[in-house]
Amino acid sequence: MKSLRNVISWALGVIIISGVVIVGGFFLFSILTEYQPAPVEPVQVSGATAFPVDSASMFSLITWNIGYGGLGREMDFFYDGGKRVRPEKSYFQQSCAGINRFFQEHDSVDFFLLQEVDRNSKRSHYLDEVTWLETSLPDFCISFAPNYDCRFVPVPVRRPMGRVTSGLVTCSRYQPVTVNRHGFDKHVPWPNRLFYLKRCFMASRYALPDGHQLVLVNIHNSAYDTGGVLRVREMEMIRKFMLAEYEAGNYLVAGGDWNANPPGFAPEEILTGDRVKQDEFIGLHTFFPDWEFAFDPLYPTNRNVDSAYKHGTTPVTIIDFYLVSPNIKVLDVHTFSTGFEESDHQPVYLQIVLRPSV
């Protein structure tokens, strides 16, 4: 009996030590491979050799969080209260085909500002979506700025997300002068930051004939942010950058997924018959009191992903929109009502004209 107890104790000791070694080794691997970008980094531009802006003063844009092709209307997601980690490959391919059709049907726009574009990620079946965009939009310059680069995301434990590389993509008919990734302050504590997004915005500059620049800012601000602490810090950095550019005489448009409602958002104005929710984050107008937030008040741009989308039941809201500087006039803004078929977000169109500089 004593011998049996010794064997059991030895076995338990081996199991405990092995567990400690495995967990410790995993954390060491995660530390050594942690994505640690510089505060500002240049972004490579690929794709077509586009032309510089000539005498154009009117531009069109579409912003869309494509949800890496994995969050179509039938999907739920574990991190938002659902059960699924990634779609089946056939459904993923179906969603990507729909996204591709949308790009090709609207390839006359000047700029696409895209979020949640994956490269070499398990959740998107390792499709390089940047290369895919280059094929879908052969006449565009394409820039990719990562905001999520983790060798192995260990949750959920029974079916971990695994490898994730994802980020922002700006597609342009015009040749940018420069494109830079601007990282937000590192305010996510260790060890969470090893597996969390490294949020950023991407600024693309286009030379104008009058010597100034059109600066497009691709946005994807923090979610899962109780009290709005992260979003306040991010908005302060965006504000500092954009005001400095405006004071230099440049024209600015920021568009994307703000994970906050735009100033003037009124749930009762949405006419789709959906169940509408409202975010309690501090009003964005406090950061830009004299600038215009351009959005379509009649259609939602985002849905909850705790379950598959069901019209009239699934909560929806507006968090995808644009911010334009005072020297720009908005001619049109409208949301494409896709029924959340390919993504948990819907694309938003903007048409602008630059006001003559004084």
Residue 30 predicted with pLDDT over 70 = no
Residue 185 predicted with pLDDT over 90 = no
Q: DSSP alpha helices (H): ranges in the chain?
A: 2-32, 89-105, 129-136, 229-247
pLDDT score recorded for residue 1: 57
Q: Hey, which residues does 153 pair with through a beta bridge? A: 162
pLDDT in tens, 338-351: 999 999 999 999 99
Residues whose CB falls within 8 Å of the CB of residue 123, separated by 6 or more in sequence, listed in order? 68, 70, 85, 86, 161, 162, 164
**Residue that is written with structure tokens 């726009």 in the block:** 109
Residue 268 predicted with pLDDT over 80 = yes
Greater confidence (294 vs 29) lies with: 294
pLDDT score recorded for residue 14: 56
**What is the arithmetic mean of pLDDT over 105-118?**
97
Residue 26 predicted with pLDDT over 50 = no
pLDDT score recorded for residue 281: 81
Greater confidence (16 vs 145) lies with: 145
The pLDDT mean for the chain works out to: 90
**What is the arithmetic mean of pLDDT over 313-342?**
97
Residue 23 predicted with pLDDT over 70 = no
Q: How confident is the model at residue 28 (pLDDT cuts 50, 70, 90)?
A: low
Q: How confident is the model at residue 112 (pLDDT cuts 50, 70, 90)?
A: very high
Q: What is each CA distance from 323 to 74, 229, 238, 254, in whole angstroms?
A: 31, 21, 11, 5
Closest by CA position to 176, among listed 248, 111, 240:
111
Rounded to 5°, the CA angle 4-9-13 comes to: 150
pLDDT score recorded for residue 225: 77
Q: Measured between alpha carbons, how far apart are the two ends of the chain, in Å?
A: 95
14-23, 132-141, 182-191, 318-327: range with lowest mean pLDDT: 14-23
**What is the arithmetic mean of pLDDT over 197-226?**
93
Residue 52 predicted with pLDDT over 60 = yes
Residue 354 predicted with pLDDT over 80 = yes
Residue 21 predicted with pLDDT over 60 = no
pLDDT score recorded for residue 13: 60
CA distance 84 to 355: 48
| pTM, to two decimals | 0.93
Q: How confident is the model at residue 62 (pLDDT cuts 50, 70, 90)?
A: very high
